[in-house]
Amino acid sequence: MQPALPPGPRVPAAIQSVAWWARPVPFLERCRASFGNRFTLRLVATPPFVMLADPDELKQVFTAPPDILHPGEGGRILEPVVGANSVLLLDGAAHMEQRKLMLGAFHRERMEGLADLVASVTEQEVAAWPREQPLELHPRLQALTLEVMLRAVLGLEAGERLELLRDRLTRILEFGSRPTVMIPALQVSVAGRGPWAAFERLRADADRLLFELIDERRPKGGEGDDVLAMLLAARHEDGSEMSKQELRDELMTLLVAGHETTASELAWAFERLVREPRVLGVLCDEVDRDDGEEYLTATVQETLRRRPVLLNAQPRFVKEPFEVGGWTFPSGACLVPNVHLVHHDASIYPDPYAFRPERFLEQPPGTYTWIPFGGGRRRCLGASFATLEMKIVLREVLFRARIAPASGALERTRRRSITVSPRLGARTILKDRTGAREPVGVG
Ligand code: HEM
């Protein structure tokens, strides 16, 4: 008789959890070498995770009916930050309803309307980065992507509200990256003290600022290019507008889902580019010629392939027996589309560890073979926005500076909450370019 779930490592759940947490990439690769493209991990405090990495099987998971697989359930740990209405945490009809409200704000054309704003924020931030000394780009990129969010999503202008929200949100997002604080059993405050109480105070401050912003913007309806304007104009199927709490929850969702992911992905782009003089040279040429962005697009796609910041899409909780790849998965299991493994499958991507944007000039990314943004009805809402932002930031930095690695060895991964970023923060040296037409390269 076939076992209930595909085979996987036999070591105790505690040991698998440590490997999954501390060294996820080598752990996943070892598992694939032993068990193939489908294996089961047993981690502490979660249902069994069945990792899937075959494109046909991923297609079945991404297109499964909404009442059978529930990705929202796995996100519960984020509820204290993003709130109960968050599109990330909902499933079935409730998820579709919130997602439809938000879709309008994220159309590609709509995003392109934000390009000038993103470019001017980038220009300001990059001008302030020190030159001629080793610099960890990751924290700078975090500050940059947060600034872009505050302006493009919330539509904030320079001023006290922006300063206060920047401060509170930075600190809340830091809590979000310390999962222990988010574990429900530890969410206690003793006489208003302790990390949980500190978190609740920050959240109350941020909520007050967001509610004030919503109250001010509501009478102006959909006026403006920012995401909040679109959400204010969106209507439920019965014609009602989004409530204040719904708006707050979705705005926090966008900050949580879009800030650290984009910052880490950009950090990887720089970590790779400084070590790939050939690619950097071709890219700088294109930026200098200022005609088209074919190679820039392919470079962003290759970065997302080679170093996906989320190693897997949201785990899908099985609610009713579901068949994939000849297995019938019982309710209670969890199907996990594994991004890293598909992206490093030599039968799909020859020489998968090489950083070669040309592969995407030869063949555009496939729906089920290139999945940095997941897929199906849960696919990342901010994919166009993130791609646009990455292109703008790369172009701006390469136009203004020569970039070189601060050390020769490539950076390994560091896990920060659920994202992986370059372990040393993408240490880079920037040198000003004296003339825009000067050839650039690894200085
Ligand atoms: C490079 C940056 C980013 C990466 C790699 C990324 C990746 C992902 C992935 C893998 C998912 C889960 C998809 C699935 O399970 O099928 C997701 C969901 C989501 N992302 Fe992103 N994301 C990025 C940036 C953003 C940005 C900038 C925003 C918003 C402005 C955003 C908003 C969302 C939302 C709202 C969801 C939940 C969608 C749903 O459940 O219906 N993301 N993202």
Q: Delineate the domains of the chain, giving CATH numbers in brackets.
A: 13-432 (1.10.630.10)
Residue 443: its pLDDT value, please?
32
Counting from 1 in the atom list of ligand 1, the atom nearest the Cα of 387 is: 1
* Chain Cα centroid distance, residue 248: 20
- Residues of the chain above pLDDT 90, percent: 82
Distance in angstroms (rounded) separating the CA atoms of residues 180 and 186: 8
Query: pTM here?
Result: 0.94
C-alpha 254 to ligand 1 mean position (Å): 8
Q: Does 329 have pLDDT greater than 70?
A: yes
**Is there an atom of ligand 1 within 6 Å of 312 CB?**
no
C-alpha 107 to ligand 1 mean position (Å): 14
Q: What DSSP string describes 141-210? A: HHHHHHHHIIIIIS-PPSSHHHHHHHHHHHHHHHHHT-HHHH-GGG---BTTBHHHHHHHHHHHHHHHHH
**Is there an atom of ligand 1 within 6 Å of 309 CB?**
yes
Residue 234: which of 386, 379, 97, 93 has the closest Cα?
Answer: 97
- Give the pLDDT band (50/70/90) at residue 361: very high
Average pLDDT score over residue span 84-103: 96
Q: How many CB atoms lie within 10 A of CB 187?
A: 15
Counting from 1 in the atom list of ligand 1, the atom nearest the Cα of 266 is: 1
C-alpha 105 to ligand 1 mean position (Å): 14
**Is there an atom of ligand 1 within 6 Å of 6 CB?**
no
**Is there an atom of ligand 1 within 6 Å of 386 CB?**
yes
**Is there an atom of ligand 1 within 6 Å of 75 CB?**
no
Residue 179: its pLDDT value, please?
59
Q: Does 213 have pLDDT greater than 80?
A: yes
- Give the pLDDT band (50/70/90) at residue 4: confident
Counting from 1 in the atom list of ligand 1, the atom nearest the Cα of 62 is: 16
- Give the pLDDT band (50/70/90) at residue 438: very low
**Is there an atom of ligand 1 within 6 Å of 55 CB?**
no
C-alpha 168 to ligand 1 mean position (Å): 22
Q: Does 442 have pLDDT greater than 50?
A: no
C-alpha 277 to ligand 1 mean position (Å): 30
Helix (H, G, I), strand (E, B) or coil at 75: helix
Average pLDDT score over residue span 101-120: 88
C-alpha 230 to ligand 1 mean position (Å): 18
C-alpha 374 to ligand 1 mean position (Å): 8
Distance in angstroms (rounded) separating the CA atoms of residues 97 and 101: 7
- Give the pLDDT band (50/70/90) at residue 231: very high
* Closest residue to atom 1 of ligand 1, CA basis: 262
Q: Does 439 have pLDDT greater than 90?
A: no
Q: Does 2 have pLDDT greater than 60?
A: no
| Farthest-apart Cα atoms in the chain, separation | 71
Distance in angstroms (rounded) separating the CA atoms of residues 207 and 165: 9
> Is the CB of residue 172 less than 8 Å from the CB of residue 277?
no
C-alpha 387 to ligand 1 mean position (Å): 11
Counting from 1 in the atom list of ligand 1, the atom nearest the Cα of 88 is: 40
Q: Does 441 have pLDDT greater than 70?
A: no
Counting from 1 in the atom list of ligand 1, the atom nearest the Cα of 308 is: 5
Residue 229: its pLDDT value, please?
94
* Closest residue to atom 36 of ligand 1, CA basis: 380
**Is there an atom of ligand 1 within 6 Å of 375 CB?**
yes
Q: Does 253 have pLDDT greater than 90?
A: yes
pLDDT tens-digit map of 269-317: 999 999 999 999 999 999 999 889 999 999 999 999 999 999 999 999 9
**Is there an atom of ligand 1 within 6 Å of 146 CB?**
no
φ/ψ (deg, to 5) at 76: -50, -30
Please give the DSSP secondary-structure letter assigned to residue 120: H
Q: Which of 97, 373, 389, 416 to mutate to test the pocket of ligand 1 (most atoms within 8 A of CB)?
A: 373
Q: Which of 110, 153, 367, 380 to mutate to test the pocket of ligand 1 (most atoms within 8 A of CB)?
A: 380
pLDDT tens-digit map of 48-75: 999 999 999 999 999 999 999 999 998 8
Residue 212: its pLDDT value, please?
96
C-alpha 334 to ligand 1 mean position (Å): 19
**Is there an atom of ligand 1 within 6 Å of 254 CB?**
yes
